[in-house]
Amino acid sequence: MPRLSYLKALNRALADEMAADERVFVLGEDVRVAASNLTAGLVKRFGPDRVIDTPLSEQGFTGFATGAALAGMRPVIEFQIPALLFLSFEQIVNHAHKFSLMTGGQCRVPVTYVLTGAGSRTGWAGQHSDNPYSLFAHVGVTTVVPATPTDAYGLLVSAIRYDDPVVVFAPAGALGVREDVDFAALAPIPLGSGRVHRAGTDITVVAVGHLVHDALAVADELSGEASVEVFDPRTVYPFDWDGLAASVRKTGRLVVVDDGNRFSGVAAEILATVAEQVPLAAPPARVTRPDGAVLPFSLELDHAVQPTRQQLAAAINQTLKKD
């Protein structure tokens, strides 16, 4: 069975949608030379009119994409580093996201924003290592964070086909992940649908993005002591609360691991919502970056602020003891 990498899965999904729908086009900085490999081979296959290099003006080309979407096109924007989303936040949230809401659904803005390499990148430092998916989830923009190549393919396809804006965070820590796939079985994945990667009975671990793989590794390490269920939301907004509630009702305990800052992060929202809806056998826990963390250039300090497997294992063990 062939192996598919996470990055190639994104590339394949984009190419498949461009082939299936002539309204789909991609734009961004250096997309014709495929600086991040997301757009590798696309300009040769689809031509420069559908693979558009833009000036270094994120507000400008993000606004352009909104207009193109209102005119019936389906733009896909690639942002190569997370901080560029801060420049475009107003265009995405205050314009693209709100047109449908303010027109009662009469205007749709099907733009997909792909962030190739979000979050912790060793040695990339403060302005290249953000993971601001909680900001977009907070304001109600559909926000996805795939963990595996098949999920990356299926969620990007669904995002491109969706009639409202979608932000796709492709974690740097997942870009090299590979898995065996049947290419004929690759298919869209519904937005808002979570996934249980590993069934368990003692505790539920919610892991976002690349941290799913860390959670699975920790679950293996602790398998002689605890039965750990690993739940991947895949979409942080809308969130699959029913799927998570079913998991936590079974296990009665919850730990969340998230490569975002602790204060006002996705992990905090997950803990709060589950605590409101599901009786717990022990107080829940979260493993995140520190409050207000900015990743430094120093490798030692970089590693110190990232969530680790050791921290996750400690949180699981502590939660299991709080009966």
Q: Which residues are catalytic?
A: 128
3-state secondary structure (DSSP) of residue 209:
coil
Beta bridge partners of 171: 118
Q: Spell out the alpha helix ranges (H) of 185-229.
A: 211-221
Strand order, beta sheet including 203-207: 195-198, 228-232, 203-207, 254-261, 285-289
Say if CB 267 and CB 140 are below 8 A apart.
no
Through-space distance between the first and last CA atoms of the chain, rounded to whole angstroms: 45
> Is 252 in contact with 150 (CB distance < 8 Å)?
no
β-bridge pairing 24-28 and 51-53? parallel
Contact 34, 4 (CB under 8 A): no
Written as six digits, the tokens of 105 are 């659904």
Q: Are 198 and 230 in contact (CB under 8 A)?
A: yes
CB atoms within 10 A of CB 292: 8
**What sign for the dihedral angle of Cα 48, 51, 57, 62?**
positive
Q: State the amino acid at position 239 in one-letter form.
A: F
For residues 126, 130, 136, 141, the Cα torsion angle rounded to the nearest 10 degrees is 130
